[in-house]
Amino acid sequence: MKRTTTRNHTSNTPRITVINAQRERPINALRIGRLVRCAIRQLGILMPGELAITFVNAERMRQLNKRFMRHDWATDVLSFRYDGEPTIGEILIAPHQAHAYAKEHGLSYGEELLRYVMHGLLHWAGHDDRTPKEQRLMRAREDRLLARCRETATTS
């Protein structure tokens, strides 16, 4: 398991830790950390503590989805928000799901994975996507964050 912690944070912003706990698909932890830091700035999230972004394999994601959501299938993203330090939240992502979706829709795996990261961050920040209207709003928010942060994630 590879763990990457970002260094650029202040006492009033979360420290981002990216953990690759799977071997199914490649992960660029530094790029993802940069993207999340940019998105946190864009969203105005000011709170100390650690936010862990963890990539898990399909079977682990199925287990977690069954345990916490009572759905017996692998999902793409799960987000958990906790009160207080040191850990303020976790976002769990299944790269296998991102790869399958990207392949099926003729998209880039890397871009789809970044969208999953933004999706998880927005859920963690309190946005829902249960209704068609909420789904459209969530997609628009993802698009805005990706547009604003994509360059930062590749060049910083």
The pLDDT of residue 115: 96
What parts of the chain have a pLDDT lower than 70? 1-10, 153-156
CA-wise closest residue to 92 among 59, 118, 60, 56: 56
| pLDDT tens, position by position, 68-91 | 998 888 899 999 999 877 889 999
> 156 is written with which tokens?
């910083």
The number of folded domains in the chain is 1
55 with 95: CB under 8 angstroms? yes
The pLDDT of residue 154: 62
Q: For the chain, how big is the Rg over CA atoms in Å?
A: 15
The alpha helices in 45-131, defined as continuous H runs, are 58-69, 95-105, 109-124
CATH of the domain at 26: 3.40.390.30
The pLDDT of residue 156: 46
The pLDDT of residue 10: 60
The alpha helices in 2-77, defined as continuous H runs, are 29-43, 58-69
The pLDDT of residue 87: 85
Residues 6+ apart with CB under 8 A from 95: 22, 24, 25, 26, 27, 55, 113
**CA 76 from chain center: how many Å?**
10
97 in helix, strand or coil?
Answer: helix
| pLDDT tens, position by position, 9-19 | 567 889 999 99
133 with 15: CB under 8 angstroms? no
Domain span at 50: 2-155
